[in-house]
């Protein structure tokens, strides 16, 4: 059997190696248009920032090493220019010699990936303007930095690449601005959780110009003038477009393969396309979202590797199936970690789901062991069934561990209540006896039993201030003095029983503390005396982060940015 694979990075390289392990006799040829195979896209920004210092470390394999181990022909700098399903061949161009030839196949696997989205704007061809997707892109940016020593950089786009590159350029001493049309970074997160990411970026000196539209680029005195809609332009020594990626599917389209959203390649659970004996994997394909079942584009290395393995199994006569993508991901934001899995609240509501959420701020490990830091965790679930839909966590140590547990729980079909039953590892340096994931489960159970009723940041402004309800802040007097929500009066939780006569029995009581724990205790004290109580989800720490970020975005001017 003769297998041809287009694309030798995550999905293609994984499939090639898996096919060889299943079929020692197969003839396998991989065509890769770049000069590198099996490279780590996610590591590219860290080479630019000198965290990774050896360019060889960016590639997990070489063509020579792949052939030596697997006897697979990895032909780099070879571009497949056309697919001919009717005669089961592909046209190939050797990019070094210009030679063109046809290669036949019994099975064809497409793993072309995605290309950086480049808007149709004037000036995108300037020499100071870059995209970042391949090793060659990385080397070009690094060479430009080493040669020209830029002092200022503008990054158009606030996704994974934009944030990672911003951190690395900032660490090199550049003045960095991220600019984008959406009013928040990292769209997989809800705006309230993205507030913590914004705060970390600003705290480390990265300027955020959110809600602004780039209209083009011009060269001015050796620099780039970034033209903005209804704003004065920015000036930078270096500009990187990081506004997302687009499935690279022109070959599939020209060959008549059925396409999906944004011209992605349509495949079934076996990674088969609409044309017999042609398979596709990776960033170029349309997938089903694991939670909603809706069509989606999810460009992540983990799914691409799994899809490559599944395609290889089926090419070799097996019957492997892809169950869908969950979108689990994690990112380093300077000293902080942010992670997400499943769908966020915004996506859940767009999908028409009736949802509930819990927000908590647990410590990364036992409070009595030194060095613990708070994380903020948001867990989304269906209101009636308590089916887990997604989670977001922002914090420091232990964020990656908890998001992986929650991702596994979603895949296992667990409810939010069942999180309380998970038997998770505990030792003081790593966790608490009641792990944060367990705590989310306890909160969900309290909601199910009617023990806990909540209100959220979006509800605060709508609370009446006419005395028809009681608004109560149960933190200490000092905490209250340092900042509180207008209309909330202060009775510390430890004084509540003795000051019960200050609270009118017939009025609902809305309670807040720093994290949500003391106010929950206060709610139970009051409920035990017959009061109707509502606890603020996430506490004042969460409210303060969300509202301060909202005010910053709404009032931001460009005056602090380089002109």
Catalytic residues: 42
Name the nearest CA neighbour of 339 among 198, 193, 515: 193
Phi, psi of 190 (to 5 degrees): -70, 160
Kindly calculate the radius of gyration of the chain based on its CA atoms and give it in whole angstroms.
27
Distance CA 178, CA 210 (A): 8
Phi, psi of 417 (to 5 degrees): -65, -35
Are the C-beta atoms of 99 and 77 separated by less than 8 Å? no
Structure tokens at 292: 């909603």
Counting runs of H as helices and runs of E as strands, what totals does the chain give? 15, 30
Structure tokens at 511: 């309670």
Distance CA 327, CA 288 (A): 11
Residue 309's H or E segment, with its range, is: helix 301-315
The torsion of the CA quartet 136, 141, 145, 150, rounded to 10 degrees, works out to 170
Long-range contacts of 414-418 (CB under 8 A, 24+ apart): 414/388, 415/381, 415/385, 415/386, 415/387, 415/388, 415/444, 416/358, 416/379, 416/381, 416/386, 416/387, 416/388, 416/440, 416/441, 416/444, 417/386, 417/441, 417/444, 417/445, 417/448
Distance CA 12, CA 304 (A): 9
The b/e string for 78-115 (b: 16+ C-beta within 10 A; e otherwise) is bbbeebebeebbbebbeeeeeeeeebebebbbbbbbbb
Q: Which residue has the tokens 């005395």?
A: 467
Name the nearest CA neighbour of 396 among 330, 345, 342: 330
Distance CA 387, CA 411 (A): 11
Name the nearest CA neighbour of 335 among 271, 240, 420, 399: 399
If you ran DSSP here, which 8-state letter would residue 402 be given?
A: H
Structure tokens at 95: 């990019």
Q: What sign does the dihedral 165-170-176-181 (CA atoms) show?
A: positive
**Residues 6+ positions from 286 with CB-CB distance below 8 Å:** 260, 261, 264, 265, 266, 267, 295, 296, 297
Q: Show the CA angle centred on residue 553, arms to residues 550 and 558, nearest 5°.
A: 165
Are the C-beta atoms of 133 and 115 separated by less than 8 Å? yes
């Amino acid at each position: 059997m003769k297998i041809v694979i287009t694309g030798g990075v995550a999905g293609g390289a994984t499939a090639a190696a898996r096919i060889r392990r299943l079929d020692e006799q197969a003839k396998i040829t991989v065509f890769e248009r770049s000069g590198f195979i099996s490279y780590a896209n996610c590591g590219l920004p860290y080479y630019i920032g000198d965290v990774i210092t050896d360019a060889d470390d960016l590639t997990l394999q070489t063509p020579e090493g792949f052939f030596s181990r697997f006897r697979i022909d990895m032909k780099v700098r070879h571009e497949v220019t056309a697919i001919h399903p009717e005669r089961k061949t592909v046209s190939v161009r050797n990019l070094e010699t210009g030679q063109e030839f046809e290669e036949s196949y019994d099975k064809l696997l497409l793993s072309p990936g995605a290309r950086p989205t480049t808007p149709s704007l004037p000036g995108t061809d300037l020499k100071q303007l870059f995209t970042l997707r391949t090793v060659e892109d990385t080397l070009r940016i690094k060479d430009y930095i080493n040669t020209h020593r830029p002092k200022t950089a503008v990054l158009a786009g606030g996704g994974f690449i934009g944030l990672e590159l911003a951190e690395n350029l900032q660490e090199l001493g550049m003045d960095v601005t991220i600019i984008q049309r959406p009013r928040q970074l990292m769209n997989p997160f809800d705006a309230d959780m993205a507030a913590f990411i914004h705060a970390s970026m600003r705290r480390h000196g990265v300027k955020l110009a959110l809600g602004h539209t780039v209209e083009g680029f011009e060269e001015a005195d050796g620099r780039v003038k970034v033209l903005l809609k209804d704003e004065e332009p920015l000036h930078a020594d270096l500009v990187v477009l990081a506004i997302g990626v687009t499935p690279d599917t022109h070959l599939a389209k020209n060959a008549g393969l059925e396409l999906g959203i944004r011209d992605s390649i349509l495949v079934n659970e076996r990674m088969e396309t609409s044309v017999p004996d042609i398979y596709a994997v990776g960033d170029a394909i349309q997938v089903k979202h694991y939670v909603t079942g809706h069509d989606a584009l999810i460009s992540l290395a983990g799914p691409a590797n799994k899809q490559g393995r599944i395609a290889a199994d089926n090419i070799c006569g097996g019957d492997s199936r892809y169950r869908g993508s969950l979108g689990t991901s994690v990112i380093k934001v300077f000293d902080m970690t942010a992670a997400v899995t499943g769908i966020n609240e915004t996506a859940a509501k767009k999908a028409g789901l009736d949802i509930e959420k819990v927000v908590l701020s647990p410590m990364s490990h036992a409070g009595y062991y030194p060095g613990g830091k708070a994380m903020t965790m948001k867990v989304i679930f269906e209101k009636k069934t308590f089916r887990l839909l997604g989670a977001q966590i922002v914090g420091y140590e232990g964020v990656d561990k908890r998001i992986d547990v929650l991702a596994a729980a979603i895949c296992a079909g667990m409810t939010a209540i069942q999180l309380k039953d998970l038997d998770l590892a505990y030792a003081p340096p790593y966790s608490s006896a009641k792990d944060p994931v367990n705590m989310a489960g306890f909160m969900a159970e309290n909601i199910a039993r009617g023990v806990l009723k909540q209100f959220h940041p979006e509800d605060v402004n709508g609370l009446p201030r006419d005395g028809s309800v009681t608004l109560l802040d149960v933190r200490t007097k000092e905490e209250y003095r340092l900042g509180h929500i207008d209309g909330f009066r202060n009775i510390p939780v430890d004084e509540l029983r003795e000051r019960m006569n200050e609270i009118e029995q017939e009025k609902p009581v809305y309670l807040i503390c720093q994290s949500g724990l003391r106010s929950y205790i206060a709610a139970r004290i009051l409920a035990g005396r017959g009061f109707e109580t509502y606890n603020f989800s996430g506490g004042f720490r969460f409210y303060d982060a969300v509202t301060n970020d909202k005010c910053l975005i709404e009032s931001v001017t460009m005056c602090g940015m380089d002109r």
